[in-house]
């Protein structure tokens, strides 16, 4: 078995993604390799999407997802769009079914290049999110940052989109908050036994939100697809918006909104772009890598 595999540096609305082709192999991308890749400015990423041979009949691939700290992630909507774009370019197919640790994901590439991913059904039960305390209504849980009589952030909506999310509702631009300071405290709060993605969400209209996310295992991120889904569902669940909204991801350099549709069948469908940047080869056990020769980069 060769020590190297092909990979692509991509992004989903700025969410930094490495798509690694592990098909035909029995090994996996190691946590050590993930950490090494993330320490290099060229390959720094939010999530690795490792494409493996399918495990279940009727699926196109099994996707193993790693965060930049080497930990496992259950879901990554922006990364899934990147996988779809990569495989569509390779195979000519437009529709795909993937298996992940969080379940089955169906996705399709549209004629305009945007990609829709069915992210599945949201989970609201406190013990399945999971939370450390029982809450009858998880659309507003007791949690705050700052002074008791004047908290900076408080009463988030909690839910799971395959991974745990806490959505804090804010009345001004999410970029105006010091999320780099609050994010680690909230991600690792005892309320979240499996940690949590922390999102600040501002309601722009009954069909539009503006968000910014501290991502579990990755930190400040330019975009997070599952957090956009969680924000949209939580906004509709609490009566702030309708069930179909556009998400302006405040931290993304790409000014194209995500469209989130919480359908009547309870499935959440996310539609947005994906972008290929460059490709190369890497060792999945160590993280050493090189760009494609025609790009003229040295091995790292």
Quick check: is 42 in a domain? Answer: yes
**DSSP of the chain:** --S-EEEEEEEETTEEEEEEE-TT-S----HHHHHHHHHSTTT--SEEEEEE---STT-SEEEEEEETTS-B-S--HHHHHHHHHHHHHHH---EEEEEETTEEEEEEE-TTS-EEEE----B--TTTTT-SS--S-TTS-S-EES-TTS-SEE--EEEESSSEEEEEEESS-GGGS-HHHHHHHHHT-TT-TT--EEEEEEEEETTEEEEEEEETTTEEES--HHHHHHHHHHHHHTTSS-SEEEEEETT-SS---EEEEE-TTS-EEEEE--EEEEEEEE-TTT--EEE-GGGTPPP-
Of residues 146 and 6, more confidently modeled: 6
Q: Is the pLDDT of residue 197 over 70?
A: yes
Residues 103, 66 share a domain: yes
Quick check: is 178 in a domain? Answer: yes
Contact 105, 116 (CB under 8 A): no
What φ, ψ does residue 257 adopt, rounded to 5°?
-75, 155
Of residues 266 and 254, more confidently modeled: 266
Residue among 48, 78, 68 at smallest CA distance from 211: 78
What φ, ψ does residue 93 adopt, rounded to 5°?
-70, 155
Residues 51, 21 share a domain: yes
Residues 159, 52 share a domain: no
**Digit-coded pLDDT (tens) for 205-264:** 999 999 999 999 889 988 889 999 999 999 999 999 999 999 999 888 777 889 999 999
Please give the angle made by the CA atoms of 182, 186 and 192, to the nearest 5 degrees.
Answer: 175
Instruction: CATH number of the domain at 148, please.
Output: 3.10.310.10
Of residues 252 and 56, more confidently modeled: 56
Quick check: is 136 in a domain? Answer: no
Please state the pTM of the whole predicted model.
0.90
- Of 18, 48, 76, 235, the active-site residue reads 76
Residues 115, 10 share a domain: yes
Residue 127 CA to residue 124 CA, distance in Å, equals: 9
Residues 155, 70 share a domain: no
Residues 174, 101 share a domain: no
**Digit-coded pLDDT (tens) for 270-284:** 999 999 999 999 999
Quick check: is 69 in a domain? Answer: yes
Percent of the chain exceeding pLDDT 70 equals: 97
Structural domain span for residue 29: 5-120+275-295
**Which residues neighbour 261 within 8 Å (Cβ) at sequence distance 6 or greater?**
243, 244, 268, 269, 271
Contact 37, 52 (CB under 8 A): no
**Which residues neighbour 207 within 8 Å (Cβ) at sequence distance 6 or greater?**
241, 242, 244, 245, 246
Write out the two tokens for 95.
Answer: 């529709």
**Digit-coded pLDDT (tens) for 140-186:** 999 999 898 899 999 999 999 989 999 999 999 999 999 999 999 99
Please give the angle made by the CA atoms of 39, 100 and 289, to the nearest 5 degrees.
Answer: 30
Quick check: is 133 in a domain? Answer: no
**Digit-coded pLDDT (tens) for 103-122:** 899 999 999 999 999 999 99
Residues 83, 11 share a domain: yes
- Of 66, 105, 224, 249, the active-site residue reads 224
Residues 189, 286 share a domain: no
Residue 229 among the catalytic residues: no
Quick check: is 129 in a domain? Answer: no
> What mean pLDDT is reported for the chain?
94
Residues 48, 27 share a domain: yes
**Which residues neighbour 155 within 8 Å (Cβ) at sequence distance 6 or greater?**
140, 141, 142, 143, 144, 168, 169
Residues 198, 104 share a domain: no
Residues 150, 63 share a domain: no
**Structurally, how many domains does the chain consist of?**
2
Residues 252, 284 share a domain: no
């Amino acid at each position: 078995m060769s020590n190297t595999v092909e990979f692509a540096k991509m992004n989903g609305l700025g969410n930094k993604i490495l798509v690694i082709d592990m098909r035909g192999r029995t090994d996996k991308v190691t946590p050590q390799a993930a950490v090494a890749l993330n320490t290099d400015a060229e390959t720094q990423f939010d999530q690795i999407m490792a494409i493996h041979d399918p495990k279940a009949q009727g699926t196109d691939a099994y996707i193993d997802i790693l965060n930049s700290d080497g930990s496992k992630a259950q879901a990554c909507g922006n990364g899934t769009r990147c996988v779809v774009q990569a495989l569509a370019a390779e195979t000519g197919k437009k529709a795909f079914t993937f298996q992940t640790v969080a379940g089955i994901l169906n996705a399709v590439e549209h004629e305009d290049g945007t990609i829709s991913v069915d992210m599945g059904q949201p989970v609201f039960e406190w013990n399945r999110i999971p939370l450390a305390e029982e809450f009858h209504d998880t659309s507003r849980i007791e949690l705050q940052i700052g002074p008791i009589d004047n908290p900076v952030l408080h009463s988030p909506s909690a839910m799971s989109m395959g991974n745990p999310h806490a959505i804090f509702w804010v009345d001004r631009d999410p970029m105006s908050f010091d999320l780099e300071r609050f994010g680690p405290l909230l991600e690792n709060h005892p309320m979240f036994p499996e940690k949590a993605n922390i999102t600040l969400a501002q309601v722009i209209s009954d069909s539009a939100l503006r968000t910014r996310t501290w991502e579990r295992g990755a930190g400040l991120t330019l975009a997070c697809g599952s957090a956009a889904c969680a924000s949209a569902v939580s906004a509709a669940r609490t009566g702030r918006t309708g069930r179909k909204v556009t998400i302006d991801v405040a931290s993304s350099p790409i000014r194209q909104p995500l469209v989130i549709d919480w359908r009547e069948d309870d499935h959440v469908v996310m539609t947005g772009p994906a972008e290929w940047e460059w490709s190369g080869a890497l060792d999945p056990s160590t993280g050493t890598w090189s760009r494609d020769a025609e790009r003229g980069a040295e091995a790292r």
